Every structure is written in structure tokens, then in C-alpha cells.
Structure 1
Amino acid sequence: MPSIELKRVTSQCLGVLLFAALSLLAASASASAQTAPCQPKQLALSLDDGGGDFNGMSHGGTYVVLRNRSGRACRIPARPELSLLDADGQTLPASLQATPGMHPGPVLLPVVIPVHGSVKASLRWVTGEVFDDTQCIDAASLRVSIGDGALTAPLRAHLCGPRVQGPQYQFVPFQPKRPPTK
């Protein structure tokens, strides 16, 4: 096949693939938009250390799980606002670490939580005094803002960061929880 015809076929294939991908994305966004936002009373928040999945090399972390307790599907932001609280319920000075190369950040579509289904995200932080001028805080709970309310769960976490920035955490967005493979 001459190279001009091959380029034409390749360009047409890429166009079809791009159209199909955009169509799927639009369908997903449309389905998500048709699902009502979750209300805090519909959800249950739990934390799971994954049996130590995050521990080591001066790091700690947890999985954040939201379960839909209601009889209807609902949606949440893929990355809702998080707050770390001290033992008195006061907000601690910790912030979300910016994703390198993603400023202001990636576009994250809302996540639908099916009836009695759950979604999972991961939260990770530095636990050691590894910075030249380290500042550390101790969190007693995690608050996840949902709509006009919030859910809170106990969390024992020691977070450290450079004093100039303060402690930061990484938060991988919520994704549907997949059943275990057999």
C-alpha cells in the first residue's frame, strides 16, 4: 500500500477512535450528571489501613471508603474537600499536595456510588522528621465534606512537612471499589 494511502487510513482510524473515546466520555458524564448528588446521611465513611499498605520509608496512609447506605445511586466529587482534625475537633494546618505538572490540576469527573456500593480513595503522608526544618501535627480524625455536610471518622496520623509549607498529604481520587478477583 503506498505511504499516502496508509497515512490516510491511519488518520481515519485515529479519527474514529478519538470520536469513540469522546462519545464514551460524554455518555459517562451524562449518566453522572443525571444521578443526584449524595447527601451525608446516605453515606458511611470508614478508613482502612490496608494491612500496612502505606507504612514504611517515613510514610503512612489509609484508604478512605465511602459506602452508599441508601436505596438510590448518588454521586460525589472525585476529590471532595478533606480536613484533618485534632483531638478537640479543630482543623489542623495540613494541605493537599499539588500533583506535579498538573496545575491547576486534572479535570476529575464526579463518581457515582451505586445502591449499597462503595468507592475508595487513598490518602498518604510523610510521618518522619525528614526535612531540614520539620513541622509535625497529630490528627485524631478525618472529615470528608459532602454537599452541605460532612462525614468524620477516627484517624490516628502523624503528619510532617517542611515548616514553610506545613504538613501535606497526597489524595488519590475516589474510584469505584472493585470486587476481589477470584
Structure 2
Amino acid sequence: MNASDASKMKRISAACIGAWLLAMASACTTSASADVQPCQPRQLELSLDDGGGDFNGMSHGGTYVVLRNTGASACRVPARPDVTFLDAHETPLRASLQPIPGMHPGPVLLPVEIPAQASVRASLRWVTGEVFDDTQCIDPVSLRIGIGEGALTTPFRGHLCGSRAEGPLYQMVPFQSPGRTE
């Protein structure tokens, strides 16, 4: 085997290992099956849960975002839907999802199935302190989650900060099934 053939074998082996890892990761997700219909906002309830302070400390805050399927059949939602923070007049406030380093444009996230009468949850985290040289903060009064062609809105209490150049940023861990009916 010459050097060119050895190089090709290494590339093929690396590709095979990458494909195997991707297959294993896909097998462990809670993604929705293709025959499950997308959720409609009317069949979902949106709530927030501070987790008893799970996210608070060191100039950070956060909450769990919980979607409950009140319908009679399973449906699916995007793993990371659009999130909008709103003021008292329901005007969107400037806040952006913080990009994951090295993941541009980002990971492919499959929809998540919500069984009938069950819930899924995601977590949001943000900086709460004025820790930037030129800090900009917002104090939203509600949170809107985009679902299909509609949206769900719930009251929200939080103080999000970021640099004036970027604006407040938040992190979102995608929706995951808690493995139980809530």
C-alpha cells in the first residue's frame, strides 16, 4: 500500500467513525417520529419553572420553559423554537440566542415528540449582572415561544444583560422529555 492509499484509508476510517458516532447520537435522542403531527399552539400550555433557584447565582439567572401537550394525541415541537422577550406593550426586546462556539450555523436539532398529557422542558440561562464595560439590560414582562404559525406567551420576570454592542444574550438547552407525565 502506498502513501496515497494509506491516506485514503485514514479518511475513510475517520468518515466511518464520524458516521457511527452520529448514528449513535441520533439513536439516543427523543426526536419525534415522522408520522407525529406538529403541535398547534391551542393544544399546548406554556409555563416557566425557576427550578427552586437552579439557575441563580454569580450574576446569572435562568428558568425552565415547560410545554405541556393538553391534547389527546402526541405531537411534535421544534427542539429549539424561536424565543422572544416582550415588554409591557408586547414589543419585542433586543435579546439573542448565544451561539455555541464552533457550531456555526449550529447543530441540527430534530423535533421533539410530546406524548398526550405529557410535558417537555428546555432551559434558558442569561447574565443578570451589569458586568460589562458598556452594559445594556432589559426587563421583559413576558416570554413568547414560536410554535408553527403561531406562538404561546407567558408572564416572565427576569433581568437580562449583555454588552451594548451585542445586546443581552441567552443560552437555550433544547427541549427534552423528562420521561414522565407532569
Deviation, structure 1 residue 162: 0.4
Structure 1 residues 24 and 162, CA gap change in structure 2 (3 angstroms): closer
Q: 5 Å matches for 1:11-160?
A: 18=20, 22=23, 25=26, 32-160=33-161
Q: Which amino acid aligns with 2:42?
A: K
Structure 1 residues 30 and 82, CA gap change in structure 2 (3 angstroms): closer
| Root-mean-square deviation over aligned CA pairs | 2.5
In the alignment, what sits opposite 1:6?
A: none
Structure 1 residues 132 and 151, CA gap change in structure 2 (3 angstroms): same
Q: Distance in 2 between matches of 1:157 and 1:25?
A: 34
Q: Which amino acid aligns with 2:73?
A: R
Q: Distance in 2 between matches of 1:148 and 1:134?
A: 34
In the alignment, what sits opposite 1:173?
A: 174
Output one character per residue of 1:15-69: Cα deviation in whole Å (capped at 9) or x when no partner: 8x939x738948x799522110000001000000000000000001100000000
Q: Distance in 2 between matches of 1:23 and 1:33?
A: 19
Q: Which amino acid aligns with 1:68?
A: N
Q: Aligned pair count?
A: 165
TM-score calculated relative to the size of structure 1: 0.83
Q: Which amino acid aligns with 1:18?
A: W
Deviation, structure 1 residue 178: 2.7
Once superposed, which parts of structure 1, at least 4 consecutive aligned residues long, lie more than 6 Å away?
none
Q: Distance in 1 between matches of 2:88 and 2:25?
A: 45
TM-score calculated relative to the size of structure 2: 0.83
Q: Distance in 2 between matches of 1:66 and 1:30?
A: 15
Q: Distance in 1 between matches of 2:154 and 2:148?
A: 17
Deviation, structure 1 residue 116: 0.5
Output one character per residue of 1:111-147: Cα deviation in whole Å (capped at 9) or x when no partner: 0000111100000100000001000111101000001
Q: Distance in 1 between matches of 2:20 and 2:81?
A: 30
8 Å CA contact 2:145–2:152 kept in 1: the answer is yes
> What secondary structure sits across from 2:38 in the alignment?
coil
How high is the sequence identity, in percent, across the aligned residues? 66
8 Å CA contact 2:125–2:171 kept in 1: the answer is yes
